[in-house]
Structure 1
Amino acid sequence: MIQVQVNDRLGKKIKVKCLPTDTIEDLKKVLSLQIGTSFDKLVLKKGHQIYKDHITLEDYEVHDGFNFELYYV
């Protein structure tokens, strides 16, 4: 189990526990329950990299304490 942090750049920081085998879409679904926005309207980025829904966290080498930037579409 790893814990990642998501910053929406509007002052909201959310910590989410997930498994390394979870996909980005799974992470977005958990986030959508916590913030009340549909998961398909969320985009996770880090720098200029946009994370694709069908790829797992371990494939992206996401580790415990990783920080995502959250954008709304």
Structure 2
Amino acid sequence: MTEKEQVMQAVARGWCQDKNSGKTMDSDLAMAITEEVLAIGPDRPFLGLATTGMLLGELKARAEVDGSIDYRTVGGG
């Protein structure tokens, strides 16, 4: 499955949640959301889409920069 397909499925899952299931959304809007998410760039993968290798590479790079991996990837800090 491609990254685009994974993001499209995530958009669809959000759309189908109980709190959103009665809302109107069309395929053009779903595709626009997908494209905006993908435009963030492959250098900043979402945690759910990152491979183990990508996560380990990120940890290694951050440890090399400041000698620490004491940071948060989500929520600042």
The TM-score range, normalised by the shorter chain, is: under 0.3
User: Which structure carries more relative contact order (alpha carbon 8 Å, separation 6+)?
Assistant: 1
TM-score (norm 2): 0.27
More strand per residue: 1
The structure with more radius of gyration: 2
